Structure 1
Amino acid sequence: MDFEPSKKEKQLNSFVVSKFLKTATEKINTSEQPNYNTMYQQGGLSATGGAIHKVVIPLRVAIHRRVAILRKVAIRHPEATHHHRNQDFNPRGMAAQATVSRHMEVQGGVGEDADVKGFDFNEQSIRKSFVRKVYAILMSQLLVTLAFITLFVYHTPTKLWAQQNTWSFWVAFAMMFICLIVMSCCGDVRRQSPTNFIFLGLFTLAESFLLGVTSSVYQSDAVMMAVGITAAICLTLTIFAMQTKYDFTAMGGILLCATVVLLLFGLIAIFIPRNTIVTLVYASLGALLFSIYLIYDTQLMMGGKHKYSISPEEYVFAALNLYLDIINIFIYILTIIGAARD
């Protein structure tokens, strides 16, 4: 049996639709685009360990931090900017997410209907989808990296080949470096699919190879212990970052200064004869620094009431930051275990 709406219901539906279109138009016309020149990016850098990791760690940290500081797509939360509207804007002209949450009141003597009183495009739903996408990408990266590490640690022919053919290490390092610079400096590359996934995939493969070579110089039980400790630390820090009321997103400048200090320490340590105490201190400071970076990047991704948040269209870059933080923690933990056994 066909249902024929009453005249009053037709008037209500027509009014709601027209009100919705009018509201959406006003939002588009009055939206404020964030100033990308004042935004910055932070990320982490991994190390390669072994005989040359003391050179590679400070170099890569310095390069990525110096480049990253110019390009971070972080935006102020409305509560931190006197309740200005938060608009994550796509430079190609499409609004990735605007907090369009105006409740439309039905006027004209009809009254307010609880079922149709508002169309709430809440940022929370998009942020949750963004977080799920970031962690899906991150888990894929970590699984690939774990597979490479396992191969290099337990498959003797692969381990011997990598140690005898050092050119492969430098080829992988060059690929990693190029992909990192491109994704850090070129916003369109890291936002446009499938280009962003291609560069991220190449970076992950190169980084996984480097970590595999690094892990091959350690005993297998030490590597697996480092993997377990890293997993426990990262899980604990992630839960802490999501639950704590302290806002770490305002610590970008402090973390950058700490990274420069770590860089100088690492450069000085290169010229110091092998010393277990120096290695333990250096690796411990590095693990602590990138543990804080993991909290920082997690809160940037979560958004919410934090002072800064990363744009939902930057899911690849958010995953890259977390991935780099985690592998840095891993390589420093592995260094600590190796130095403690010497």
Structure 2
Amino acid sequence: LCIIEASVSFKWFNVPTRESIRKHPAFFVPCFVLFATILTVSLCCESLLRRFPKIAISIFMVIVSLMLTSVSAYTDSYIIKLALAMCMGCTLFIIAFSLQTKVDISSRIGYLFITLTCSLMFGITFLISTSMILIPVPIMILCYFLALLFMLYLFLGFQSLMKKRKQEVAPDEYVFAALQIFLE
């Protein structure tokens, strides 16, 4: 998420790059086609992902960065940046919670924790963004609901991957598991 955030931020701070992407819509179409192709191949060819997981996650991360950069060139990137910042903060909180406690994140406590984490990140980003950047409140609320939806979807993907702690990921499969969660 940090690399994707940096990619969107580069376009946000570099006005000539943003204008170049806007003037040449041919940049968006190949990015979207490449994203759809890589996503389809990764979902259909699981054996390929298992053989080269680090390369696959790197390629997918670059493709997602390019696609989000091209999409955010046509829109106001505040929404994308705020939603990414909230999701990045929530992901870090969930990782810290999972590493520090013995509470199963895939229980009802997980739903409560994700909702509270998204609310906390919403409050932090709301205070920072309204004091520094004038962003309308409906856009902030939209970012909150998008981040909450993303985190719940990520939670359900994590829960289906671990199958409620009945299955553990082998040490050599951590990169593949991370790729599966990133794809979701």
Coarse TM-score class (shorter-chain normalised): 0.5 to 0.7
Alignment counterpart, residue 152 of structure 1, candidates 2, 11, 18: 11
Displacement after TM superposition at 1:246 (Å): 4.0
Aligned partners of 1:300 and 1:308 also within 8 Å: no
Distance in 2 (CA, whole Å) between partners of 1:296 and 1:309 is 16
| Alignment map for 1:279-318 (pairs within 5 Å) | 286-298=146-158, 306-318=165-177
Displacement after TM superposition at 1:155 (Å): 0.9
Distance in 1 (CA, whole Å) between partners of 2:5 and 2:141 is 26
Q: What's the RMSD between the two structures over aligned residues?
A: 3.7
Alignment counterpart, residue 76 of structure 2, candidates 195, 218, 222: 218
Aligned partners of 1:190 and 1:317 also within 8 Å: yes
CA separation of 1:203/1:231 partners in 2, compared to 1, >3 Å: closer, same or farther?
A: closer
Aligned partners of 1:294 and 1:322 also within 8 Å: yes
Displacement after TM superposition at 1:184 (Å): 1.5
Displacement after TM superposition at 1:208 (Å): 0.2
Moved over 6 A (4+): 279-283
Displacement after TM superposition at 1:161 (Å): 1.3
Is 2:127 the partner of 1:245? no
CA separation of 1:311/1:177 partners in 2, compared to 1, >3 Å: closer, same or farther?
A: farther
Displacement after TM superposition at 1:154 (Å): 0.9
Distance in 2 (CA, whole Å) between partners of 1:287 and 1:321 is 19
Is 2:78 the partner of 1:190? no
Distance in 1 (CA, whole Å) between partners of 2:140 and 2:3 is 28
Letter in 2 for 1:178: T
Aligned partners of 2:21 and 2:27 also within 8 Å: yes
Displacement after TM superposition at 1:189 (Å): 0.3
Unaligned runs of 5+ in 1: 1-141, 250-275, 326-342
CA separation of 1:153/1:245 partners in 2, compared to 1, >3 Å: closer, same or farther?
A: same
Alignment counterpart, residue 178 of structure 2, candidates 314, 319, 335: 319
TM-score for the superposition, normalised by structure 1: 0.37
| Alignment map for 1:175-186 (pairs within 5 Å) | 175-186=34-45
- Which residue number in structure 2 is paired with residue 170 of structure 1? 29
In structure 1, the residue corresponding to 2:76 is in which secondary structure? coil
Aligned partners of 1:153 and 1:159 also within 8 Å: yes
Displacement after TM superposition at 1:198 (Å): 3.7
Q: Residues 205-236 of structure 1, C-alpha deviation per residue, up to 9 Å, x if partnerless?
A: 2210111123332255x655444333322222
Letter in 1 for 2:67: L
Letter in 1 for 2:152: I
In structure 2, the residue corresponding to 1:315 is in which secondary structure? helix
More helix by share: 2
| Alignment map for 1:71-150 (pairs within 5 Å) | 142-150=1-9
Unaligned runs of 5+ in 2: 108-136
In structure 1, the residue corresponding to 2:11 is in which secondary structure? helix
CA separation of 1:235/1:161 partners in 2, compared to 1, >3 Å: closer, same or farther?
A: same
Q: Find the structure with the greater CA-based Rg.
A: 1
